Chain A
C-alpha cells in the first residue's frame, strides 16, 4: 500500500465522521463537498480514473448543490407560512 493510499483512506474516514457530526444541513453540504474531493483522491490512488471523475462532478458539485436547493425550498415555505400567520 502506497503512502498516498494510506493518507487518502485516513482522510476519507475522518471526512465521513465529520459529515455525520455536522448537524446543520447547510454546513453539512460544505463538509460533504470536501468529503467528495477526499473520496475522489482515494479513487485516483486506487487506479480508477473514471470513478474519480464521476465522484468529482457528482459528489463535490451536484450533491451539495441539491442539498442547498432543498433547504432553500423548505426555508421559503417557512417564510410564506410565517408571513401568512
Chain B
C-alpha cells in the first residue's frame, strides 16, 4: 500500500476513533467529582489496620499486592528479554566488546569526574532512604530502586567500570534481580502458610510512624528495590556492551 493510501486510511480511522473517545470521555463524571467508594474505603482503613501512614504504599503492597507481583514480573521478563537479545547477538557477531587495552576513564575532564565522585555516596544514601521509608512517606521500592541504579551507574560515569571486590559484578546484579523477584513471591507464600491467604500481611504491625511498622510492607519494598536496581543495571550494561560491569582483567 502506498504511503498516501496508508495516510488516508489512518486519517479516517483516527478521526472515527477520536470521535468515539471524546464521546466516551464526555460520559465520565466531571473532573474532581470522583465518587468511587473502594478507593475511599482503602484510604481510610490503611492507617488503623496496618499502622502505615502512606496509604498508597499499603494499597500497592498489601491490599492490591497481587497486581504489584504481576507488574514486577513483567519488569523481570523484559530485562531477561533484553539480555537474551543483546547477549546472543554479541556472542555471534564481529563487533567486539571494547578491548582491555583501550579501556580508559569514561569522563574526560577531571572536574567532571570529581563532581560525579562526590555525588555517588549521597545518591546511594538517598536511594536506601527512599526504599526503607516507603510505607511512611512518598517513595518505596520502585522509585528507590531506580535511584540506586543511578548511584551505581554514576560509579561507571566517574570512573571506568564498576567493581565489587572479588565478586563478578554482572553475577551480583543478576543475583540481586533474582533475589528481589523471588523474594516478593516467597514472602507471599509465607503469608499463605502463616496467615492463610497469599500475600496476607503476617508480621506484627508496630506503632504509627515507626520505621518498623506496616507488617511485611518494608520487606516487600526492599525486595522490589533490589529487583528494580538489578534489572535496570543489567539492561544498561547490556546496551553499553558490558563495559559497565567488567571484572579486573576480563569480562
Contact = CB atoms under 8 A, between A and B. Distances in A.
Contacts of B94: 80, 84
Given A66-B235, A70-B239, A80 B95 contact: yes
Interface of B is mostly: helix
B31 A1 contact: yes
Contact of A58 (B31, B54, B146, B239): B146
B139 interface: yes
B8 to A, nearest CB: 20
A69 B138 contact: no
Contacts of A53: 130, 138-139, 143
Interface size class of A (residues with CB under 8 A): 10 to 19
Contacts of A1: 31-32
A66 B95 contact: no
Contact of A49 (B95, B138, B236, B241): B138
B78 to A, nearest CB: 12
B154 to A, nearest CB: 11
Contact of B142 (A54, A66, A73, A84): A54
B143 A54 contact: yes
Given A1-B31, A66-B235, A57 B147 contact: yes
B212 interface: no
A50 B54 CA distance: 10
B249 to A, nearest CB: 23
A69 B139 contact: no
Interface of B: 31-32, 54, 56-57, 94-95, 130, 138-140, 142-143, 146-147, 149-150, 232, 235-236, 239-241
